[in-house]
C-alpha cells in the first residue's frame, strides 16, 4: 500500500510504500513517529495506487503535547491537497513581496541578482527547471513571474503560478526574505 505524507512544516509531499497491515491495524502514526515525522505537522492519505479520492486523515498533538488525537476524517483528493499547498505558497510570496519587494507604480516587484532561484514548473506541456528572474504583484494581488528555462536561457517568459510544482514556490519566497 502507498501512503502520501503531507508535511505542513516544510510543505513536503512524500509517497511511502508501507505494508498493508500498518494501515489496516491503525499503526501508521506509530510508524511515522518511528521514522521521525513531526506528529504535530503532518497529514497522511492512504489508497491503492490508482484510487482517487482517498481518505484524508489529519492528526495533531493534544494540548499537553503527548497524545495523538484525530480531528476527524473527510474525503478529499490529492489534487485538492496540492492546490491548497499552492495557495499557501502564493500567499507567502505575496507577503514577502509586500515586506521586501520594491514598490512600483502598480504594485510590488523583486528582481533577483546573479544568484536566481531555480524551480520545477511546466513551460507549456513540458516540465523543466526554470530560473526565476523576477516576481511582481499588482495592487489586486495578481502575481507575475518571469523566468528562463535553465537549459535554454535565450528568452524570458511569463510563468503562470499554476504551472509551478507544489512546494517549489518556497525557493522563490525564501530568496526574497533572506536578501
State yes or no: pLDDT of 123 exceeds 90: no
pLDDT tens, position by position, 43-93? 776 665 544 444 445 555 555 554 444 544 444 567 777 888 898 999 999
Q: Which of 15-24, 100-109, 136-145 has the lowest mean pLDDT?
A: 15-24
pLDDT tens for residues 92-117? Answer: 999 999 999 999 988 999 999 888 99
Decide which of 53 and 5 is more confident. Answer: 5
Taking a C-beta distance cutoff of 8 angstroms, is the pair 44, 32 a contact? yes
| 11 close to 170: Cβ distance less than 8 angstroms | yes
Per the DSSP assignment, residues forming a β-bridge with 45 are 4, 56
Per-residue pLDDT band at 150 (split at 50, 70, 90):
very high
Backbone phi and psi for residue 64, each to the nearest 5 degrees, phi listed first: -80, -15
What are the residue ranges of helices labelled H in the chain? 20-24, 28-34, 78-100, 169-178
Between vectors from CA 146 to CA 142 and to CA 150, what angle results, nearest 5°? 145
Mean pLDDT, the chain, rounded, equals 79
Q: Are 134 and 117 in contact (CB under 8 A)?
A: no
pLDDT at 146 over 60: yes
The helix, strand and coil proportions of the chain, stated in percent and rounded to the nearest 5, come to 30, 45, 30
What is the pTM for the complete model shown?
Answer: 0.58
Confidence of residue 7 (pLDDT cuts 50, 70, 90): low
Tell me, what's the pLDDT at 47?
A: 62
| pLDDT attached to residue 133 | 96
Integer Cα distance of 10 and 100 in angstroms: 21
Amino acid at each position: 500500500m502507498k501512503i502520501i505524507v503531507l508535511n505542513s512544516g516544510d510543505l513536503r509531499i512524500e509517497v511511502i510504500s508501507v505494508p498493508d497491515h500498518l494501515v489496516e491495524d491503525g499503526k501508521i502514526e506509530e510508524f511515522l513517529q518511528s521514522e521521525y515525522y513531526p506528529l504535530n505537522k503532518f497529514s497522511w492519505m492512504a489508497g491503492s495506487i490508482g484510487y482517487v479520492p482517498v481518505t484524508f486523515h489529519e492528526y495533531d498533538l493534544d494540548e499537553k503535547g503527548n497524545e495523538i488525537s484525530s480531528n476527524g476524517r473527510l474525503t478529499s483528493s490529492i489534487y485538492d491537497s496540492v492546490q491548497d499547498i499552492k495557495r499557501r505558497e502564493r500567499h507567502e510570496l505575496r507577503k514577502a513581496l509586500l515586506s521586501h519587494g520594491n514598490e512600483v507604480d502598480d504594485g510590488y516587484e523583486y528582481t533577483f541578482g546573479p544568484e536566481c532561484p531555480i524551480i520545477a514548473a511546466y513551460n507549456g506541456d513540458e516540465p523543466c527547471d526554470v530560473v526565476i528572474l523576477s516576481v511582481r504583484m499588482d495592487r489586486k494581488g495578481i502575481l507575475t513571474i518571469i523566468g528562463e528555462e535553465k537549459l535554454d536561457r535565450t528568452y524570458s517568459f511569463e510563468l503562470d503560478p499554476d504551472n509551478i510544482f507544489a512546494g517549489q514556490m518556497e525557493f522563490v519566497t525564501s530568496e526574497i526574505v533572506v536578501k
